[in-house]
Structure 1
């Protein structure tokens, strides 16, 4: 589970170091986008069982789309 509150450091347009503290939806969104930068997908956070179930649903949807 992700932290509910985060502190992020970044460089602004002028190259100056900035710090942002966030909670709630903004914290979730920032962590999600940081994952993208690290090559981590949403499904990587799922348990093996849930990931397997999601992949089966995806494969089924692909088959239905190809057939129809």
Structure 2
């Protein structure tokens, strides 16, 4: 859901960005467009881990990514 909000952290949207306005860098329609949120999330994974597989490996090792 594009408006999913984590009640504990306030993370928002499909990729659970925190703060939510980080999505803006992927497009001005970030509040309503799941594709914009996914594009942002994939960019985050690429920039931080290099690939989804590396992000998953980190998740499995540390229980967070």
TM-score between the two structures when normalised by the length of structure 1? 0.34
Answer with 1 or 2: which has the greater Rg: 1
Structure 1 or 2: more strand by fraction? 1
TM-score, scaled relative to structure 2: 0.36
